Amino acid sequence: MITYNGKGVYSAVAIGRISIYKRQDATVARIEITDKEAELKRVEEAKAKATEQLQAIYDKALKEVGEENAAIFEVHMMMLEDDDYNESIRNIIETQSVNAEYAVSITADNFAEMFAGMEDSYFQARAADIRDISNRLIACLTDSGTDSELGAEKVIICADDLAPSETVSLDKEKVLAFVTAFGSSNSHTAILARNMNIPAIIGVGEEFLNSVKDGDFAIVDGFTGEVFVDPDEETLAKLTKKREEDVAKKKLLQDLKGKENVTLDGTKIDIFANIGSVDNIGAVLMNDAGGIGLFRSEFLYLENDDYPTEEQQFQAYKKVLESMAGKKVIIRTLDIGADKQVDYFHLDKEENPAMGIRAIRICLTRQDIFRTQLRALYRASVYGHLGIMFPMITSVSEVKKIMEICDSVRADLKVEDIPFSDSVEHGIMIETPAAAVISDQLAPLVNFFSVGTNDLTQYTLACDRQNPKIEQFVDTHHEAILRLIKMAAENAHKYGAWIGICGELGADTTLTETFLRIGIDELSVSPTFVLKVRDAVRKIDLRKE
């Protein structure tokens, strides 16, 4: 038995035979040509063909993994039309008098290298997309296929890396797992694998591909990121059991879809989902969350290289609200600073950024940014049930100032005759000890509290959440944290506000009963934990001491 280690991107176990993904040889010869016009015409024809293929892949993805995930193939179609990309191909053909395949391949190398060299992991992952569309274009130019045919048996697909279009083109019914030598967990391939519910491991290294061959028997453990080739009996028995337990557990969770979040004694709680991007809505709906308890809006700022406009933000918020069809959506205003730095904000370098100018402190000092976001939020509010939530609150005066700004933004909209909903809820995050301690003074000012246990833990225990060395000192169940949550819950209810938990602790099912006893009204967890928490809630009986 040989064990290889990579990174699991979808937690499940697969046992079966390996099939090495076969791809057309992408090496392209440089051939000098005389008729440049004819070569340019070939590129145009190949582009039309590639677009047709991508449209078919998009339609397949739409059915299998939903609109949000299929969108990457629309992006691919757009990339094929990109001016810079096309100009580069044209220039190479015209200035070097070379064949179209060669011009595409050099352009692909240049663009992929440029993306790979970017600091942002999102853009790094786009290098794979450039290679994907370029390989397709070259295949169309040479009239060869790109998609691998699979036999009748279900197999573990192994490859150096898989492009998104390759992942989706594979017949899902015949794939047990994906294992790639390279790849990033941010890549669309990883995202697609997760959405296809197929165990997947990336980054097992080149050595793996050099050693395995078609037909080798292997086990893929997506939980640990391990691949066991030619497993011994003990490992086989252990992993077979693990797979059976996992399948049974997932089935049980699926059975929980559509069921209420209610304890044995009849106490109900809302279970909502946390999202960081509009793209996550598919997962929210698939996991049957009752709403969105935390939409970290800063992704709009992190993804852009300039301040997102009111219109861009409005479109994103509207989409989330419309997709949730009247279910509650809590959007948090931007939480930039600390670990989330954005160049164009030009924030000063700080000794302790977690305790510096971040989140609401930026909004209150740079109100133009804040007002733009608020205008977009109120404008979007007519498309659903919106809650606006403010992060990093420490004082009553901050909340009063925020509410004044909100009033003034709504007054402006009224003057401009722009509609907004009258039933927008306003809430604050309880993520500093100060906010919890003065929660009796804060509760009358808002409709809800949401406890950010990630920051509340770091500030209460004086443990930097970014510092892995300090983990041994982080007791997430520390009595101080639980007392602060309890205090906030009592004060919220005293003044008619509701209280949720949106930090990671909300998904800790060893505390679900405690939270119910404290009177927490809502738990907002990552979409994949919604059913797990529902399962825990339904087993609790608060009548028992």
Q: DSSP letter at 310?
A: H
| 19: three-class secondary structure by DSSP | strand
Torsion of the alpha carbons at 55, 58, 64 and 70, rounded to the nearest 10: -170
Closest distance of CB 242 from ligand PEP, Å: 31
- Burial class of residue 379 in the structure, from the number of CB atoms within 10 Å of its CB (0-12 exposed, 13-18 middle, 19+ buried): buried
User: By C-alpha distance, which of 234, 255, 129 is closest to 192?
Assistant: 129
H or E element at residue 3 = strand 2-5
Residue 139 or 502: the one with the smaller Cβ distance to Mg ion is 502
Residue 296 or 534: the one with the smaller Cβ distance to ligand PEP is 296
- CA 417, 419, 424, 429 dihedral sign is negative
Given the residues 140, 158, 188, 363, the one annotated as active site: 188
Q: How many residues bind Mg ion (CB under 5 A)?
A: 3
Closest distance of CB 430 from ligand PEP, Å: 9
Q: Map the footprint of Mg ion across residues 415-444, applying CB under 5 A.
A: 431
Residue 164 or 452: the one with the smaller Cβ distance to Mg ion is 452
Residues in the chain: 545
Closest distance of CB 380 from ligand PEP, Å: 21
Residue 161 or 431: the one with the smaller Cβ distance to ligand PEP is 431
Torsion of the alpha carbons at 145, 148, 149 and 153, rounded to the nearest 10: 180
Closest distance of CB 317 from Mg ion, Å: 20
Quick note: the x/- pattern for Mg ion over 284-323, rule CB under 5 A, is ----------------------------------------
Closest distance of CB 369 from ligand PEP, Å: 18
Neighbours of 113 (CB within 10 A): 11
Give residues in contact with ligand PEP (CB under 6 A).
Answer: 294, 296, 335, 431, 452-455, 502-503
210 phi/psi in degrees, rounded to 5: -70, -25
219 phi/psi in degrees, rounded to 5: -120, 135
Residue 76 or 296: the one with the smaller Cβ distance to ligand PEP is 296
- Contact at 8 Å (CB) between 75 and 57? no
Alpha helices for 184-292 (secondary structure H): 188-195, 206-211, 233-255, 281-286
- Burial class of residue 263 in the structure, from the number of CB atoms within 10 Å of its CB (0-12 exposed, 13-18 middle, 19+ buried): buried
Q: Which partner, ligand PEP, Mg ion, none, binds residue 535 by CB below 5 to 8 Å per kind?
A: none
Q: Which partner, ligand PEP, Mg ion, none, binds residue 528 by CB below 5 to 8 Å per kind?
A: none
Please enumerate in sequence order all residues whose Cβ is within 8 A of that of 261, keeping only pairs 6 or more positions apart, or say none.
268, 269, 270, 271, 290, 533, 534, 537, 538
Given the residues 140, 158, 406, 502, the one annotated as active site: 502
- Contact at 8 Å (CB) between 132 and 85? no
Residue 183 or 452: the one with the smaller Cβ distance to ligand PEP is 452
Residue 6 or 291: the one with the smaller Cβ distance to ligand PEP is 291
Q: Is 158 designated active site?
A: no
Q: Find the part of the chain contacting Mg ion (CB under 5 A) among 112-120, 275-283, 448-456, 475-483.
A: 448-456
Query: Is position 452 an interface residue for Mg ion (rule: CB under 5 A)?
Result: yes
| 154: three-class secondary structure by DSSP | coil
Closest distance of CB 323 from ligand PEP, Å: 21
Closest distance of CB 167 from Mg ion, Å: 34
Q: Is 502 designated active site?
A: yes
Residue 194 or 358: the one with the smaller Cβ distance to ligand PEP is 358
Q: Which partner, ligand PEP, Mg ion, none, binds residue 128 by CB below 5 to 8 Å per kind?
A: none
- Contact at 8 Å (CB) between 420 and 378? yes
Closest distance of CB 303 from Mg ion, Å: 19
Q: Extract the tokens encoding 32.
A: 């000098």
Could you write out the DSSP letters of every residue in 90-126? HHHHHHH-B-HHHHHHHHHHHHHHHHHTSSSHHHHHH
The C-alpha atoms of residue 121 and residue 186 are separated, in whole angstroms, by 7
Q: Extract the tokens encoding 44.
A: 């145009």
Q: Which partner, Mg ion, ligand PEP, none, binds residue 296 by CB below 5 to 8 Å per kind?
A: ligand PEP
- Contact at 8 Å (CB) between 238 and 224? no
User: Which residues are part of the catalytic machinery?
Assistant: 188, 502
Interface residue list for Mg ion (CB under 5 A): 431, 452, 455
